[in-house]
Structure 1
């Protein structure tokens, strides 16, 4: 906006009152809405009548002058300018209309001086954009010079700047650095090579001078080497063939975004040259934090220099070490089993050299996983207590396996960093005395022999305890909260209780538990249950050598003949009581419902003849409490039972869950600046259907929330007598795009009532279709494609140029043999022009022989009337033959070792043949190969410190010949070996029928036996 100052008033006397205009930013098209503010100086006398008329006339002149000055046509915005990265388009907005509405054929208003080609176009009367053919790379400077003869639609000359410049600076990293092909890790090798995709060709000498490694603990910079030549080619080749899928392809794709769109081969070669490989000149210490600093000063071959540092953090993998771990540690000693874990995988034969000896020198059996590479060795079972074990790394012995001889190294050849720690002595201990009464409530029938069992480890001959009978519901709620703390992990069953849970001098009946040392380490004891209600059990564990304090075991049990049930509802609830042993309804039982958090009484009543009691009220919600919400107790005669309703408050259950809201929109898809009209309806869901809300609920606030930004608008509304209200919301011009929720907020709860979206879009003016007369497409020699573009208003898009791309994709989801990398999909590009009716036929010729299921992707690019590039896409399935075989098997045949059938039942499968119309086909001879394959995922170091995982397989199997069957169902695959999750189907060489359908368990028919077809899930 122009900032202007009003000129001095002509003919005004210096001693007269001075009118001083205040500076304002005046929009050129809204002068009347922004009046000039005049301030009167108190130092001068008021103007007389003539001076007032003169000032008024001058004010009118100033208005006209300011209006014309502010209305001068100019360029309002030019973006981007100056330093910018990843530029694909320049957008310019003019203050005045430049072209007639709908006429976008005017020549470009700028002369563009840039090495990157592009095209300019008018979007509308005010906006012009320049699309670069590809993203502007580094070291580029583009100038946009406004043409001299450019005029507005009204014929006015533009004022203001006439040249705009943008530049992209020095080489930047646009993808990477790749230091580990496992994307979820940032650990690198000690001699790691970093691959980076650049947006320009960088000068290697400047990389050596300005890029360095920063190692924590090392005060100086570590220089880098640029990896070139055969070593770089070897690294890229290894990554392309064996690394994480798409590692190199991703870098190439990123680098190619800043390159001209040449043919695919030349584009890939140029993109590969922009992938730089650097390595720290010194080996990195294991476990260190390392940063690769792509420093300021890195220059392109053209001389453009990078302006700032970019830092990328990594961690070096730890040194190779073998550490002893125990399944349980107590008092600095091992309990349970012993295992030796490696910080990196080792060959299985190397791991088998681990020896474990007991105190008598006898070798203890160990377990090594049945895999070529392992990361641990462990004992077969629990080791002896209070004993000494010795872990040794046995010297290599002569053998057929490479790992059986030589030093103790990992799969990369790194020696053991803590080799001097071995032989390592491991001392085992004795677990401390412990006990438990189980996790939940022990429930037993009442009677003289009612008792609660407890399990104790290494108890003495006698343990003393106390038993407390909880009579009232308030105390019952408190104890249930105590045990809920135990269940949630806030307290433990032992250890934390260094003081008696029942109190030092609290109530309770004492008891003793007797044990016999000859009965073993784990012994069971029973606590007699007497009295009514829940029994709290406390047993004291005396101090031990390793724990010099008394600990207490706590439990709860109840001897009852009552079984209490509870069903919670929104408006009412149901309680019923049955016998614990026979399940018969119990009448006339006294019932109480208590708040599980506070112990307050919520309801009381009695059961009827059927043992039922209906709670005809809505129980209050219990918020902010993680304990059991409700405690329902029943008493009959001297018997007492209860049920605790656990904490299960899910999101959305807070507040009044019966309140339902719905918003009706005039439209649910809007653009910034639009106004949406809404009708809001609020109802109560009752057992009789929907009801009108109470008058107290009619005051509602409408909240509009963006799913990311949160609340963006709130408004108070009042529902009418029918529970309906209306409101509107004007979407701001700068509103964020995406989904917006509409929430109705009452005093009790919040209810989501609807959703709308805000997007920037243009209404389509044409409709594009891609079809083919072939259905289905079976082993074609050529494929005709019909292209059709029609105006939505009627008629075809006559003589419209289009670009058609066809790409074949192989279905690699099924493979019976070891998976191999598929060749790159070949894309063909063709330019066509539609005829006078907006139609064209394109025939895809020179097709290969289809020996597998293939998908054809067809894309058609065209420009609509707005000048925007649009793409229509369609996928077609290509069958290699008109016969489809389908394997329909039981779980034994279709799954691996996990089977629902008996282990003695043979694998079974049904093979069915269908034609392209899904009709059964008789008379098909089939050979069925079944394979049992054991897979192991192994790790491998690639050149440059990169890593790859691959699958090694061992296979066994057989073949069955299945003849013709009149019902087209062949039962077979009977073999004593376990079933395979992979199957191969083939036919004799005389038959050439073969196909399969994706998404089903099926196979095709092969032209020769032994040909791989697919893998089935």
Structure 2
């Protein structure tokens, strides 16, 4: 009995030793269902052919159902064997790879699995043109790149379009003949890949500006094996372009007011059109006179136009009509959807008020004789800057002492065309913060306390300054409103001045509220010029008078 047990143990040891020396397949790819297959990889757990001698017989045999499959095997190294197909396997192909029964590895035997299977499954859409999510035309053609050829009847029965606003499926219509050949040629699709390219369209035109979905449904059959059908839907979303329209736009002081005559009046189109048609658009004065043609940049040579603008400035408080040429169409041949809106009546209003210093936030003016003159450009604010007017004023403060000059120079720079916190502006502590509405990721309105910032053009530096003086502008004879003009503000004394203009009309126009606006600059009125010459070892500084050098 003991001898029998010893014999069994010896046999088990022999079997285990043999199994330990046997080679086995650790990986085979592909496996299961794969859309496209060009190569098979068989990997062993140890070297099965002599190192450096890869011209060994194939270890396995491939058998496939469906169309004839061609290819060749090769050893990549002493552990990996590859099988390369001459072409990607078409959909509906089932293959089995079996190890050859008489093939022997380098040492030992083969253990483990010896048979492996995979299939290419049903035909799937690999890519679309236009791409998923693109804007499309109303009668868009779709080029579908497939994993393999399909039967046309199954496509027409199981693929369709879903369009927003249409309560039924629109069957997918396959396009062939010369039209398909032209598309394939333009996309440079080779003859061998043409069978896997499908040109199709929805059964009827799609509504403009709507969402559309192309559905590659269940039940589409592979041409190589019609018994293999798609079991999963593929969906591709698109958006139909909006209708061809024309839209007029201009800049205004605020909503509901006429157009600014100093800014361009423009017409934009929702789709490109021929330049020759765009050049025929006109701005016709209501009171008669020559029509105004659009202006193009001299370097603009584009033959497709999507927007035009008319030259400026235009007459103030005038009426015009935007006239489009008859039969206007875009490059796709679509007529204008809102053609009934033209000719379109438009109007200009007053040019916006302006008060602008030639040099800001700092400048130097030459003082000659009795004083210096600071130029400022004004439009439609002169009336409220008169001595008896209450809507605005001009203030000035002259500074003495280097420290005071430097402090005010820095102060003017800090307040030049920017925004500062209410705290930095010295406002009461109760005005330092404000509550604003914000939306979170779910669209809910949240209240948030934030630091309050104020535009510096809403803040005066001289209104509360007891040392500031009110200046009177030279008055021109004539009524208001006056046209654009440059006025000289007299500065009788030499030195460093801070000059500020307050205008309620500027505030109402540019701040959009009934509050004054402030425009300021710092200026040095002097008759002296400083010159510096720097040499290798020293420098020379001298001062001359500006009038006599």
Q: TM-score, normalised by structure 1?
A: 0.41
What are the within-5 Å matches in structure 2 for residues 626-775 of structure 1? none
2:404 — aligned with what?
A: 471
1:998 — aligned with what?
A: none
2:447 — aligned with what?
A: none
1:83 — aligned with what?
A: 33
Q: How far is 1:393 from its partner?
A: 4.4
Q: How far is 1:375 from its partner?
A: 4.3
Deviations 1:683-724 (A, max 9, x none): xxxxxxxxxxxxxxxxxxxxxxxxxxxxxxxxxxxxxxxxxx
- For the 8 Å contact 2:128–2:143, the answer to whether it is kept is yes
Distance 1:169 1:500, change over 3 A: same
Structure 2 residues not aligned, in runs of 5+: 1-11, 386-391, 421-453, 544-549
Q: How far is 1:68 from its partner?
A: 8.0
Distance 1:389 1:121, change over 3 A: same
Answer yes or no: is 1:93 the counterpart of 2:43: yes
Q: How far is 1:361 from its partner?
A: 3.8
Q: How far is 1:281 from its partner?
A: 1.4
Alignment match of 1:188 (pick from 136, 144, 148): 136
SS of 2:214 mapped into structure 1: strand
- 1: CA distance, partners of 2:107 / 2:28: 22
- 1: CA distance, partners of 2:202 / 2:504: 61
1:305 — aligned with what?
A: 229
- For the 8 Å contact 1:295–1:310, the answer to whether it is kept is yes
2:196 — aligned with what?
A: 274
Alignment match of 2:476 (pick from 488, 504, 516): 516
Distance 1:119 1:340, change over 3 A: same
SS of 2:381 mapped into structure 1: coil
Answer yes or no: is 1:173 the counterpart of 2:112: no
Q: How far is 1:80 from its partner?
A: 2.2
Answer yes or no: is 1:583 the counterpart of 2:505: no
Deviations 1:960-982 (A, max 9, x none): xxxxxxxxxxxxxxxxxxxxxxx
Alignment match of 1:434 (pick from 326, 334, 354): 354
What are the within-5 Å matches in structure 2 for residues 253-292 of structure 1? 268-292=190-214
- For the 8 Å contact 1:212–1:280, the answer to whether it is kept is yes
- For the 8 Å contact 2:418–2:455, the answer to whether it is kept is no
SS of 1:383 mapped into structure 2: coil
2:446 — aligned with what?
A: none
1:338 — aligned with what?
A: 265
Distance 1:439 1:446, change over 3 A: closer
2:284 — aligned with what?
A: 357
Structure 1 residues not aligned, in runs of 5+: 1-61, 241-246, 253-267, 397-406, 488-494, 562-578, 587-607, 613-635, 638-1017
1:248 — aligned with what?
A: 187
- 2: CA distance, partners of 1:278 / 1:524: 71
2:345 — aligned with what?
A: 425
- 1: CA distance, partners of 2:502 / 2:14: 99
- 2: CA distance, partners of 1:121 / 1:293: 41
Higher helix share: 2
What are the within-5 Å matches in structure 2 for residues 864-943 of structure 1? none
Q: How far is 1:326 from its partner?
A: 2.3
Alignment match of 2:87 (pick from 134, 138, 155): 134
- For the 8 Å contact 2:208–2:241, the answer to whether it is kept is yes
SS of 2:187 mapped into structure 1: helix
Q: How far is 1:201 from its partner?
A: 1.0
Q: How far is 1:351 from its partner?
A: 4.7
- For the 8 Å contact 1:452–1:528, the answer to whether it is kept is yes
SS of 2:458 mapped into structure 1: coil
- 2: CA distance, partners of 1:158 / 1:129: 20
Q: How far is 1:501 from its partner?
A: 4.3
- For the 8 Å contact 1:293–1:312, the answer to whether it is kept is yes
Distance 1:117 1:542, change over 3 A: same
What are the within-5 Å matches in structure 2 for residues 477-516 of structure 1? 480-483=413-416, 485=418, 496-497=455-456, 499-502=458-461, 505=464, 509-512=468-471, 514=473, 516=476
Q: How far is 1:216 from its partner?
A: 3.8
- 2: CA distance, partners of 1:440 / 1:82: 76
2:439 — aligned with what?
A: none
1:117 — aligned with what?
A: 70
Deviations 1:589-626 (A, max 9, x none): xxxxxxxxxxxxxxxxxxx96379xxxxxxxxxxxxxx
- 2: CA distance, partners of 1:497 / 1:423: 43
Q: How far is 1:291 from its partner?
A: 3.1
Distance 1:391 1:112, change over 3 A: same
Alignment match of 1:610 (pick from 521, 539, 542): 539
Q: How far is 1:95 from its partner?
A: 0.8
1:31 — aligned with what?
A: none
- 2: CA distance, partners of 1:457 / 1:223: 65
- 1: CA distance, partners of 2:328 / 2:98: 71
- 2: CA distance, partners of 1:299 / 1:439: 78
SS of 1:471 mapped into structure 2: helix
- For the 8 Å contact 1:151–1:158, the answer to whether it is kept is no
- 2: CA distance, partners of 1:379 / 1:175: 45
SS of 2:376 mapped into structure 1: strand
1:566 — aligned with what?
A: none
1:214 — aligned with what?
A: 162
- For the 8 Å contact 1:342–1:375, the answer to whether it is kept is yes
- 1: CA distance, partners of 2:219 / 2:492: 84
1:383 — aligned with what?
A: 314
Deviations 1:489-541 (A, max 9, x none): xxxxxx945632428635762443525376732434447497877x6543212
SS of 2:156 mapped into structure 1: helix
1:559 — aligned with what?
A: 524
- After TM superposition, the structure 1 stretch with the greater mean CA deviation from structure 2, 145-154 or 513-522, is 513-522
1:151 — aligned with what?
A: 104
Answer yes or no: is 1:103 the counterpart of 2:53: yes
- 2: CA distance, partners of 1:388 / 1:174: 58
Distance 1:426 1:154, change over 3 A: same
What are the within-5 Å matches in structure 2 for residues 388-467 of structure 1? 388-393=319-324, 407-437=327-357, 441-444=361-364, 449=371, 452-461=374-383, 462=385, 463-467=392-396
CA RMSD of aligned residues (A): 4.2
1:205 — aligned with what?
A: 153
- For the 8 Å contact 1:458–1:522, the answer to whether it is kept is no
Q: How far is 1:196 from its partner?
A: 1.9
- 1: CA distance, partners of 2:493 / 2:231: 84
SS of 1:142 mapped into structure 2: strand
Distance 1:475 1:385, change over 3 A: closer
- 2: CA distance, partners of 1:560 / 1:520: 28
- For the 8 Å contact 1:142–1:165, the answer to whether it is kept is yes
- 1: CA distance, partners of 2:462 / 2:361: 21
Deviations 1:33-62 (A, max 9, x none): xxxxxxxxxxxxxxxxxxxxxxxxxxxxx9
Deviations 1:78-119 (A, max 9, x none): 222112234332222211210111111221111112443222
1:542 — aligned with what?
A: 504
SS of 1:207 mapped into structure 2: helix
- 1: CA distance, partners of 2:374 / 2:56: 94
Distance 1:442 1:98, change over 3 A: same
Q: How far is 1:276 from its partner?
A: 0.8
- For the 8 Å contact 2:361–2:413, the answer to whether it is kept is no
SS of 2:194 mapped into structure 1: helix
- For the 8 Å contact 1:101–1:125, the answer to whether it is kept is yes
Distance 1:611 1:130, change over 3 A: farther
What are the within-5 Å matches in structure 2 for residues 934-1013 of structure 1? none
- 1: CA distance, partners of 2:13 / 2:379: 99
Aligned pair count? Answer: 466
